[in-house]
Amino acid sequence: MIPGIQEKTDRLCERGIVAVVRADTSGQLLEVARALLAGGVDCIEITMTTPNALEVIARCRAELDQAAMVGVGSVLEREVALAAIAAGAEFVVSPVLEASVIAAAHQAGLPAVAGAFTPNEILAAARAGADLVKVFPATRLGPGYFKDVLAPMPFLKLTPTGGVDLTNAGAFIKAGAVTLGVGSALVPRKAVWDGDFAQIQRLAAEFVAAVKQARGQNTA
């Protein structure tokens, strides 16, 4: 792995939480990002399914600077990856394995996270150069699946997305996940609509604490 990419990948794993922001409107997403950051979550993925996603990425980068690591999600094509990188995205996430997306991220010196489901797909994503493999949708699989896959392939860097919440976050970490992609359980759509940023900050702090506890770290 290229040194600069390694450093950025390490940051995605450091606190063990990547907030997956998927919203119906982009109007309050900067405030959402600030709330996540205040709660201790400093890696934020803005999905391309969010209206004006590129503008949100650019604004978050400009306003939050280096305090947060802002990336792009739901990327299916190289051209979309390039546009997001031009807007300031610092990592690129896809729900599938698309080699051209991985290449676009790496050419910019950024981590690429590719999606996979089966053991064959997970290994293929890793061999294609994905810095992390997003096991998606994790809802159907659960933490035990991670433990089973990692037993014969412990070199894999896996992150679950889909169905991760406070009831299973720690279990995924204990099963070997290097970081967690957390969506609506961390950024509830109602909280966004209501402007309840205090709730989002509280949830962020609870997820960070859950990861620390699972890792055996001091949560004080």
- Point out the residues that are catalytic: 45, 134
Contacts of residue 2, Cβ cutoff 8 Å, sequence gap at least 6: 106, 109
Q: Cα 167 to chain center, whole Å?
A: 18
Q: Cα 142 to chain center, whole Å?
A: 17
Q: How far from 7 is each of 2, 4, 141, CA to CA, in Å? A: 9, 5, 29
C-alpha–C-alpha distance, residues 142 and 20, integer Å:
18
Give ∠ CA 47-2-63 in degrees, rounded to 5: 40
**How would you classify the pairing of strands 112-116 and 92-93?**
parallel
Q: Are 39 and 208 in contact (CB under 8 A)?
A: yes
Q: What is the three-class DSSP state of 32?
A: helix
